[in-house]
Amino acid sequence: MDVLTKTITLTINGEPLALSGPHNVATLVAHLGLDVRKVAVELNREIVPRSTYGATPLADGDSLEIVHFIGGG
C-alpha cells in the first residue's frame, strides 16, 4: 500500500478514529469540522501550538485530546 494513502488509527478524546491518507493536526481539525480558533489540541500529552498544526504530522497510534471552553464555576 502506498504510504500516502495508508490508513492510520488515532485515539481522539478516548475514542478510536481510522483515517486514510496523510494527516497533520490542521487537516484532522478540519476533517472533524471543528473551528480551529475555539479548540486546543494535545498530542501524546504535549500541547500543539495552533501555529504549528499544519506542520505537525500524525502517525498510527497517536493519542489526541481536543478541548474547548464550556460553562463552569
Partner 1 sequence: MDSLTPTTDPWTVAGRSFNSRLIVGTGKYVDLPTTAAAIEASGAEMVTVAVRRVNLSDPKAPMLQDYVSPSRYTYLPNTAGCFTADDAVRTLRLAREAGGWNLVKLEVLGPPPTLYPDMAATLEAAAALIKDGFEVMVYCSDDPIAAKRLEDMGCVAIMPLGAPIGSGLGVQNPLMIQMIIENAKVPVLVDAGVGTAYDATFAMELGCDAVLVNSAIAMAQNPILMARAMKAGVEAGRLAFRAGRIPKRASANPSSPTTGLIR
Q: Which three cell numbers stand for residue 65?
A: 485530546
| Interatomic CA distance for residues 22 and 58, integer angstroms | 8
16 binding partner 1? (CB under 8 A): no
Residues in contact with 11: Cβ distance below 8 Å, sequence separation at least 6, in sequence order: 17, 61, 62, 63, 64
The minimum distance between CB 27 and partner 1, in angstroms, equals: 15
49 binding partner 1? (CB under 8 A): yes
58 binding partner 1? (CB under 8 A): no
Q: Which residues contact partner 1 (rule: CB under 8 A)?
A: 12-15, 32-35, 38-42, 45, 47-50, 65-73
